Structure 1
Amino acid sequence: MAKAIMVQGTMSNAGKSYLAAALCRIFKQDGYRVAPFKSQNMALNSFITEEGLEMGRAQVMQAEAAGIKPSVLMNPILLKPTNDTGSQVIVNGEVLGNMSARDYYKNKLSLVPKIMEAYNQLDQQYDIIVLEGAGSPAEINLKQDDIVNMGMAKLAHAPVLLVGDIDRGGVFASLAGTLMLLEEEEREMVKGLVINKFRGDVSILEPGLRQIEQITGKEVVGVVPYMNLDLEDEDSLSERFSHEDKAALIDIAVIRLPRISNFTDFNSLECIDGVSVRYVKSAQELRSPDLLILPGTKNTMEDLLWLRQSGLEAAILKLAAQGTPVFGICGGYQMLGKELHDPMSVEHGGSLKGLGLLPTVTTFSAQKTRTQVSGVAGDLSHTIFPNLSGLPYEGYEIHMGQTVICPKDEMCESNGACGSNNSNNPSISHDAVCFGSILKRNGADCEESQGCCMGNVFGTYLHGVFDHPQMAQGIIEALCERKGISAEQISAVDFASYKETQYDLLAKGVREALDMERIYQILNEGI
């Protein structure tokens, strides 16, 4: 039986995910087998496991910090918003269906057995489980049927650390107010308060710490400093979107689609010195980047319409015509094609013309592709990135529907009838080539072509394609050559090693800030 401890926050983005990751790393460093757990996660950043199952990336990040492989047991329920009032519901890594918020809340208690089945399996395998809550435990309209905050803490018999974000202000009020709105039994489960993201001299904060302890009857177990680390973000509250432009040799612009997903694809580019990655949501912000990226999205057709209505489509087409490299990933790849068809109303319904930068047609279907893949880039000698030819890559696919490349001399009009599978068209016209080959899919050998490239436009379904250092370095070198500057000033990093360093720095900062002796007492005492 594992011991459990839970991290809850007074609000979203209080730092729960990072603190949970830090505890996972600290316990691992101290010799324990530790696993993260979040019963219900709402995020558009997701990951595909070795088994081809889908889970939230926050728990992937925490699993990496714990030094273990990600498993859907760590995140049995994932909600991926499709609009403002509904989500795709994923249970144990597989799609249950789309539900409105009202329908989901009516039925979510029926998922408790699935949650506990997953938790109990982790309970048998690990020494410690670090649970993470969601949002705030004091949402009084949702508390009755809670399965992710105090409701989950009760099920797991997990003592709770309550985290408040001082960087936004009002931290003492938020801590006291949260505790006030909890039931007496729930307040008893809160064993310590944590002040997060503090900047300045802690001694000046001391009087406030003593007062909040007197007001709430709860001890402050640590003041965690604001740490400028580069770790994955859970959802669209990402601070990456508001980063100010940094002076850089290479300027990469990512379109901030309304339903942007898996923007963690670009973290590996952001960590390269001399490279700026900025997220833009208007034609005015776009300017003249060295590389333009269309990212993934939870609703390709709706975001394509937004692209059209915002004026960004025209700006993208103008840049592409001028020779600016354009790279589409997943939904962004689908948008780059000639046509998109949704006969089953999986997304928007009907048909739309794409940007027409690639000779492809996408048809949506109810079946979701979820696979881990690895392979090599093809012969890209006639594209703007010839030095990528033959380079290895790996990543994962998460998408609804299939994209095919139009065979020779077909116009891809009206019904999208053109199209054999890419693997049956190794030699395609329109001066287009496949991006590369897939040699392994979910661990099994295969040989499939994937993606499409033509001149300065590239498309692929592979999330994580930039994480391989050779692939990232190849792109940066080509961009430098295009600008007439030396690539010696810019070097890609081993992203896996880079993340390990970040986890160690996170653990060091949190270990020094928390009263770890008291944390272990709380862990051992339970509730």
Structure 2
Amino acid sequence: MPRARTVLVAGTASHVGKSTVAAGLCRRLADAGVDVAPYKAQNMSNNARAVATPDGGFGEVGVSQYVQARAARVPATTDHNPVLLKPRGGGESQLVIHGRAVGHVAAGDYYETHWERARAAAEASWERLAAAHDVVVAEGAGSIAEINLHHRDLANVETARFGDDIAVLLVADIERGGVFASLAGTLELMPADVRERVVGCVVTKFRGDRSLLAPGVEAFEERFGVPILGVLPYDDPGLPEEDSVSLPPVGERAVRGGGDGIPDAESVTVAVPRLPRISNFTDLDPLAREPGVRVAYLPLDASLDGADALVLPGTKNTVDDLLALREAGFDDRLAAFSGPVVGLCGGYQLLGERLTNAAVEGTGGDSDLPGFGLLPVETRFEERKRVEPVTRRLVGCGPLSGAEGPVTGYEIHMGRTRALGPVDHPFPEESAGAATDRVLGTYLHGLFDNRTARDAFLDAVFAAAGLSRPDGEAGPSPYDRAASLVGEIDLAPLSLP
């Protein structure tokens, strides 16, 4: 029988701060000695991590639940995110249940043919977590007030109904304006039985004088009988983003990092093409947190002038993004670029001589396509998907020259890559990567989470730019910053153990 107290962190809308609040609560409770675990019944994200499954294998979960598990200091498992939808374009998503892909589905087909199975999987995962922990911090999805979805809202309404001991914490973003109207409307539109489970609200992203907000808080609490348990300041603790909505649109430029006070003339820029089907772009977050480093997401047709290094990120569809890059004339700009280049997963495949059996990716087009030719390797696509957390021994070469030692990460990819000629290998497992003097490709997601690899790469980038790398370390961990951010939330009404 479930024994945990479950707190559902629900929202008035998307991107109001649910993921950050959930992660912060996980770390805050773990620091207090509480046995806590994260949970999200259904997620939609192309940023995934490879973790253990209940039966001893490996599968995928959305990045937010992986992050929240680390915040809670528990090993991540697929029970933390039993249903994952990975958008692939054309109105379809890859459906992943308990970590394993079961097919590609359109929204209508999912609800007609897969939803009952998904719900059963989600409830089974919640029951296992609730039986094994004292507290489960569940994250909702989007808005809990979507009245057109209430009969099949797995991450919100159904989760709130899984057990009798579930409390709902409602989160609203004041930066959007109309925060009290958002809270009031959400409470009004929630199903009555779920509304009764709301124990309090949290206002996020507040700037300015809090005394000006006090009359609104008092009036809201008096009218609705629901307390405001915390008003959180505007802050970004640096947690990995869940999906590409946080990135600029495909044709726009955006820069992350650089908030460290180091002048532009003493900083380096790592350019990242904003692929239409980009995935696992959180691989770049550790670079953006380093002093003197800016990560610039560029339109596909943008100049690489001013870039000191280039990283080709992962992609949900290597072939379609290759064609998009080629149509934008990226080939010529890449060929003329002389700085360090790293390709991660799909980006590694793009850097090779050619892609074969490409029709497996669903293009219906040519089955043999030329890559960008910076590495003498060939990738053959196949139906089998590799999903596995890994620990490898890094043998420094190319842009990671000088790095030695164990690194951890994960692989999530379709396709096998082999060398076509002499080439260096950053790992003893030759299929895991290849390198030349300034170009490296690897299937290892999470490469830059490892300080050994990150330092070697940034040392090479600063050296190629003719700059000295600034002293200093990144600040507190994103998990600790998130815990500090939610520190003022009054937990008493949640009735936690």
Contact 1:344/1:365 (8 A) holds in 2: no
The Cα shift of 1:144 comes to 1.3
Of residues 422, 437, 458, the one that matches 1:476 is 458
Aligned equivalents of 2:379 and 2:276: distance in 1?
A: 21
Q: Does the 8 Å CA contact 2:352/2:374 hold for their aligned counterparts? A: yes
Alignment of 1:282-431 (within 5 A): 282-284=300-302, 286-319=304-337, 323-342=338-357, 345-349=360-364, 350-351=366-367, 352-378=369-395, 380=397, 383=398, 385-388=400-403, 390-406=404-420, 428-429=421-422
User: Structure 1 length normalisation: TM-score?
Assistant: 0.85
Where does 1:58-137 land on structure 2 (aligned, <5 Å)? 58-106=64-112, 107-137=114-144
Measure how far apart 1:324 and its partner are.
Answer: 1.8
Q: Are 1:503 and 2:482 matched, yes or no?
A: no
Maintained 8 Å contact 1:435/1:449: no
Q: What pairs with 1:152-191 in structure 2 (closer than 5 Å)?
A: 152-157=159-164, 158-191=166-199
The aligned amino acid for 1:18 is T
Instruction: Give 1:103 deviation, angstroms.
Output: 0.6
Assess, with a 3 A threshold, how the Cα gap between structure 1 residues 476 and 490 changes in structure 2: closer, same or farther: farther
Structure 2: which 5+ runs fail to align? 259-263
Change (3 A) 1:210 1:84: farther
1:452 aligns with 2:454: no
Q: How does 1:136-151 map to 2 (within 5 A)?
A: 136-151=143-158
**Corresponding letter in the other structure for 1:178:** T
Does the C-alpha gap of structure 1 residues 331 and 141 become closer, same or farther in structure 2, counting only changes over 3 Å?
Answer: same
Alpha-carbon offset, residue 173 of structure 1: 2.1
Deviating more after overlay: 331-340 vs 208-217: 208-217
Indicate the SS of the match to 1:159. Answer: strand
User: Is the contact made by 1:176 and 1:215 (CA closer than 8 Å) also made in structure 2?
Assistant: no
**CA distance in structure 2 between the aligned counterparts of 1:92 and 1:462, rounded to whole angstroms:** 22
Percent of pairs identical after alignment? 40
Letter in 2 for 1:173: A
Q: Find the counterpart in structure 2 of residue 12 from structure 1.
A: 14
Offset at 1:490?
4.2
Find the counterpart in structure 1 of residue 261 from structure 2.
none
Matched residue SS, 1:436: coil
Counterpart of 1:519, as a letter, is: L
Q: Which of the numbers 270, 279, 292 marks the counterpart of 1:274?
A: 292
Cα shift at 1:312: 2.8
Write out per-residue CA displacement over residues 163-220 of structure 1, whole angstroms, 9 at most, x where no aligned residue.
1111122222222222222222232222211111111111101112123334444221
SS at match of 2:385: strand
Is the contact between residue 4 and residue 133 of structure 2 (CA under 8 Å) also seen in structure 1?
Answer: yes
Paired AA for residue 82 in structure 1: R
Contact 2:400-2:453 at 8 Å conserved across structures: no
Distance 1:86 1:288 in 2: 37
After superposition, the Cα gap between the structure-2 partners of 1:244 and 1:344, relative to the gap in structure 1 and judged at 3 Å, is closer
CA distance in 1, matches of 2:401, 2:485: 43
TM-score if structure 2 supplies the norm length? 0.90
The match for 2:30 is 28
Change (3 A) 1:73 1:384: closer
Partner of residue 445, structure 1: none
User: Paired residue for 2:271?
Assistant: 253
CA separation of 1:308 and 1:239: change in aligned 2, threshold 3 A: closer
Structure 1 regions of 5+ residues with no counterpart?
407-427, 439-447
Are the counterparts in 1 of residues 416 and 431 from structure 2 also a CA contact under 8 Å?
Answer: no
Structure 1 residues 165 and 31: CA distance shift in structure 2, 3 A: same
For residues 14 and 354 of structure 1, what CA distance do their matches in structure 2 show?
A: 40
| Distance in 2, Cα, partners of 1:402 & 1:152 | 39
Instruction: Give deviations 1:297-333, integer Å, cap 9, x for gaps.
Output: 11111111111222333322221xxx22211100011
1:28–1:393 Cα change, 3 Å:
closer
1:436 aligns to 2:444 (yes or no): no
